[in-house]
Structure formats: structure tokens, C-alpha cells
Amino acid sequence: MLFADRIKQLREQKQMPQRQLAAALEIDTATYCKIERGERRAKREQVSTLADLLETDKDQLLNLWLAEQIYSVVKDEENAEKVLDIVHESVIEYKSGFKK
């Protein structure tokens, strides 16, 4: 489950209306609705705010937020798994000090 589904799940668990979250993010409820349905992307700072309001772990939620962005790149790709492997390799190389 990625970001959009997750914040919806959390919100429903807490029985909060979208309106309340939208207000906290200072956006229209329609916009918030779109974020929850994956039609709009939340901003990074908004993820943090949401984690607070929904009382969930910031890092975990941020990971889902990032995952959703990546997913949108590969979701229709035949070789999605292979591509992810390639990136995984690059991340490891990067961390091992082979910067840039």
C-alpha cells in the first residue's frame, strides 16, 4: 500500500473528515481529496504535517510518499523489477563512497 491509500486508511481509522486535514494543510478539500486518490502529489512538507495529524511515523510515511513517486515511473513497465535492481545497485555504489 502506498502513500495515497495509507493516508486514507489512517484518516478513516481516526474518523477525521478530509476537511480537517485540508484545513491543516491550508488547501481546498477538493485538492486534499485528489491527494488521497493519488491524483495530486502532496508536497514534502505536507507529508510531515500529515504524519503529525494522523499520528503516524514521519519517516515511514515519507517512504511511502517517495515510493509512490517511483511507482508512477515504473508501474507500466515490462522490466520494472530489473530497473529497480539497477537503481538499487547505483544506490549501493553511491553509499560506498563513489560519490557523483
DSSP-derived letter for residue 41 is P
Task: Identify what 33 binds: its own copies, DNA, none; CB under 5 to 8 Å per kind.
Answer: DNA
Q: How far apart are CA 64 and CA 79, in angstroms?
A: 21
Q: Which CB, 17 or 85, lies closer to DNA?
A: 17
Cα dist. 61→3, 31, 39, 94 in Å?
Answer: 7, 19, 18, 24
Among 30, 73, 86, 91, interactor with DNA by CB under 7 A: 30
Q: Which CB, 12 or 59, lies closer to its own copies?
A: 59
The residues binding DNA (CB under 7 A) are: 11, 17-19, 26-31, 33-37, 39-41, 43
